[in-house]
Amino acid sequence: MKKCRPIMVQATCSHAGKSVLTAALLRILKHRGFKAAPFKAQNMALNSAVTRSGHEIGRAQAFQAEAAGIEATSDMNPILLKPTGDAVSQVIIHGKVFGSMSAREYHSFKKEAKRFVAESYERLSAEYEVIVIEGAGSPAEVNLRDNDIANMGIAEMCDAPVILAGDIDRGGVFAHLVGTLDLLTPAERERVKGFVINKFRGDIGLLKPGLEFLEARTKKPVLGVVPYFKEMLLPDEDGVALDSNEPAGASAVTIAVIRLPRISNFTDFDPFRAEVVNLKYIESPEGIEGADAVIIPGTKNTVSDLAWLKDKGFFEKLRSFRERGGVIFGVCGGFQMLGSEVRDPFGMESTKATEAGLAFLDCTTTILEHKKTFNVRASLEFDGNSFDASGYEIHMGETKGSLKPFSRISERNGEGVEVLDGGADGTVFGTYIHGIFDNDAFRRAFLDMLPGKKGLPARAQTSFAAKRNEALDKWAALVEKSVKIDEIMKIMGLKPECLT
């Protein structure tokens, strides 16, 4: 077995593009004939995915595996932290819930957690030629340096050279890069082999003095400047992405997604970005005005976010919206809120034992002690048509009631089952299946039944998977054109066609 060669992408801050830069490098390496895999030791994200074997990992790592042309496994993200409150997170190790910890408890736990990280990396490095490692946040968080398992601690463990990325779209990129480097130890600075500036708009010639300053000041090369990519249909982990809504036009269908405080898996709605749809994320009831459909998304804390909906005045507005014929769709936690009550007898999410729901569907949900994670296949009847669908379940709630099911799940983690899912009542629908809108035929049927569709031309046959794959190829080509890939491969000890 040839020696595995790692490279690590770190950044000066969150949302600087680490995830998509990692995906681009993996796609480029795939095109150049390398067997490469993603790796993110510790990921804090509410966007997650379920592997074929039923293990939960960060959504970004699942997508990066897709970019590399391989199947996602829990070793690609051995530790996933899912915040349940301001200072408490559910800790998922090797794809299964390990427990819940406060920030202080987890900080003390990291020395032990490093063992799980090392086990995953060893398994990956035995199988793949190249591992592209993604950092988390910034490596310059000096208060978190002890027992670091997110950035430089992992680079040292894997003996990985580091590329440091900065987001120029936010401003201050040179200060960010120089300052980050300055806060590293001498050994860590030596490990950084160069910079990539991401999300650049404008005349590259005007940037040249800054690039010359950066190289002269740090004695390290700028490996590339990547232009802002407008066709980004790639999943984003950070809620910052929800702040940028680009209207599709006055004649388009409008979908309002309620931006819950603990919203999770908002990538469920990325497929609408490939359609002629005005997709907007709203935080107040007034945002419902003008919408053809309102979606209540998944959440890491159904009980708390249900109380938030009430406090904000959403209940009254949603009831009025429904009476006018508006379509309401709930996914996972959003589906649970559509019932009459959510019960939390074990105190998994709240000190409150019960919270009244919208009562749009005749069902109640009980939050249990153990999480269910399944990769699923299902069949459903919708608007007079039959569909096959696939997706995944991630939930601790169990919902029961007297209602028409939304779908019938026939397969979980590759095994045949017969499970009724969700509920439907008139223009109100709910399901536990994340990724339901990734299914092209169902998504088109959903959009075509909305009130705002009446009188509009027939909908194009859009394949979201194909469009996302096309966007990924364009993104990888842009990165390959903008970044000195051959130089990065030399840093790793690689040649274009084979390992050295």
209, 271: one domain: no
Q: What tokens were used for 62?
A: 């699942």
With respect to residue 220, please indicate whether it lies within any of the assigned structural domains: yes
Q: What tokens were used for 170?
A: 């936010």
* CA-closest candidate to residue 237, choices 270, 261, 273: 270
DSSP element (H, E) containing 115 = helix 103-127
pLDDT at 500: 39
What is the per-residue DSSP string for 88-107?
A: EEEEEETTEEEEEEEHHHHH
Q: How many domains does the chain have?
A: 2
* CA-closest candidate to residue 78, choices 154, 139, 137: 154
Cα distance between residue 374 and residue 412, in whole Å: 6
With respect to residue 206, please indicate whether it lies within any of the assigned structural domains: yes
Which one from 332, 363, 370, 395 is the annotated catalytic residue? 332
pLDDT at 254: 94
Q: Is 434 one of the annotated active-site residues of the chain?
A: yes
Tens-digit pLDDT profile for residues 219-236: 999 999 999 987 767 776
335, 259: one domain: yes
Contacts of 453 (CB under 8 A, 6+ apart): 253, 292, 447, 459
45, 127: one domain: yes
Q: Is 13 one of the annotated active-site residues of the chain?
A: no
Where residue 98 sits, what CATH number does that domain have?
A: 3.40.50.300
Where residue 397 sits, what CATH number does that domain have?
A: 3.40.50.880
131, 31: one domain: yes
* CA-closest candidate to residue 17, choices 229, 172, 306: 229
Q: Are 159 and 65 in contact (CB under 8 A)?
A: no
pLDDT at 84: 84
With respect to residue 247, please indicate whether it lies within any of the assigned structural domains: no
416, 487: one domain: no
Contacts of 86 (CB under 8 A, 6+ apart): none
Q: Are 79 and 149 in contact (CB under 8 A)?
A: yes
Residue 274, SS3 per DSSP: helix
Q: Are 191 and 223 in contact (CB under 8 A)?
A: no
88, 151: one domain: yes
pLDDT at 231: 72
With respect to residue 460, please indicate whether it lies within any of the assigned structural domains: no
Q: Is 455 exposed, middle or buried (0-12, 13-18, 19+ CB in 10 A)?
A: exposed
With respect to residue 419, please indicate whether it lies within any of the assigned structural domains: yes
Which domain, by its residues, includes 261?
A: 252-455
With respect to residue 480, please indicate whether it lies within any of the assigned structural domains: yes
204, 296: one domain: no
Q: Which residues pair with 50 in a beta bridge?
A: 56
Instruction: Find the DSSP H helices in 385-484.
Output: 440-448, 464-482
354, 324: one domain: yes
**Which residues of the chain carry a pLDDT beneath 50?**
1, 240, 499-500
372, 292: one domain: yes
51, 127: one domain: yes
282, 366: one domain: yes
pTM, two decimals, is 0.92
Conformational region of residue 88, where left means phi above 0, alpha means psi within -120 to 50, and beta covers everything else: beta
215, 305: one domain: no
Tens-digit pLDDT profile for residues 67-95: 999 999 999 999 999 998 778 999 999 99
* CA-closest candidate to residue 297, choices 340, 239, 336: 336
